[in-house]
Amino acid sequence: MDPQYAAAYPALYRHHWWWRVRERILIDEIRRILSRVPNPRILDVGCGSGLFFDALQPFGHVEGIEADRPAVEHSGRWRDRIFVGELDRTYVPREPFDLILMLDVLEHVPAAAGLVARGAEILKPGGRLLITVPAFNWLWTAHDELNHHVRRYTAGELRALIRGAGLTVAETRYLFQSLVLPKLLVRAREAVSRLPPRIAEIPSPAVNRALQLWCRGEHSVFGWLPFGSSVMAVAAAAERHEQA
């Protein structure tokens, strides 16, 4: 991530309408996934400074992995819950997890299949992997470069990654349908006049609130549409069957 963007990220995460809507969607999905799981163990991969931990804590025990040491140094009370490094063989959890989150992580990783496969290895039987990524390479803009993205995904490509890791696809859904046209317009403008990437700004309170309400309503009513600027997937590990 660009250093200037990294510095602005905590404020954007806490206040910008896009992050607030995404968190609301994720919390609703996590509540559904964990509704019948007692004392679940949750792992947030690429957790940064643990900004999502406060919202996750009511569900169960939360841990994280983050490769960016400076980000972890700003994690405050969550520091002891975050492993500094990569999700590979160097990370050995004490117990497997009921839920693993990879929220806007895979688009940064050239070898995304290996990351998903390692996540599958440390899931409990019947556990879930929740993924979000930016959608469609034809929506690529300078914002992707600012974020050091490698690629954007279709729902089909995400399903292939999941199945390749030995997991079952429980759900895929596009998010933020109304952002597709604005992103196409930005892409067209960038093709004509190449401007440097700009860090997002938090709109005025009234506009910020209106956009939150719009996108929440859009997700409730039009979340079934086969396009959007992001895609979410839920993968399931096989249940363990006792031998007779």
Q: Domains, the chain, ranges and CATH? A: 3-236 (3.40.50.150)
Give the type of residue at 219.
H
198's tokens: 């700009």
Kindly tell me the burial class for residue 31, based on how many C-beta atoms sit within 10 Å of its own C-beta (0-12, 13-18, 19 or more): exposed
| Amino acid found at 218 | E
pTM value > 0.85: yes
The overall average pLDDT reported for the chain is 94
Res 243 pLDDT > 70: no
- Looking at residue 241, its pLDDT comes to 55
Q: Single out the residue of 62, 72, 135, 55 nearest to residue 99, CA to CA.
A: 62
Backbone φ, ψ for residue 157 (5° rounding): -65, -35
User: Looking at per-residue confidence, does 8 or 184 come out higher?
Assistant: 184
Q: What is the mean pLDDT of residues 239-243?
A: 60
- Does 220 have pLDDT greater than 90? yes
Q: What was the pLDDT predicted at 1? A: 65
Highest mean pLDDT among 1-5, 22-26, 86-90: 22-26
Concatenated DSSP letters of the chain: --HHHHHHHHHHHHH-HHHHHHHHHHHHHHHHHTTT-SS-EEEEET-TTTTTHHHHGGGSEEEEEES-HHHHTT-GGGGGGEEES-SSTT---SS-EEEEEEES-GGG-TTHHHHHHHHHHTEEEEEEEEEEEEB-GGG--HHHHHTT----B-HHHHHHHHHHTT-EEEEEEEE-GGGHHHHHHHHHHHHHS-----------HHHHHHHHHHHHHHHHHHTTSS--SEEEEEEEPPPP----
pLDDT digits (tens, 9 = 90+) for 119-155: 999 999 999 999 999 999 999 999 999 999 999 999 9
- pLDDT one-digit tens code per residue, 43-68: 999 999 999 999 999 999 999 999 99
For the residues 7-29, what does the mean pLDDT come to?
96
Strands 97-103, 123-134: pairing kind: parallel
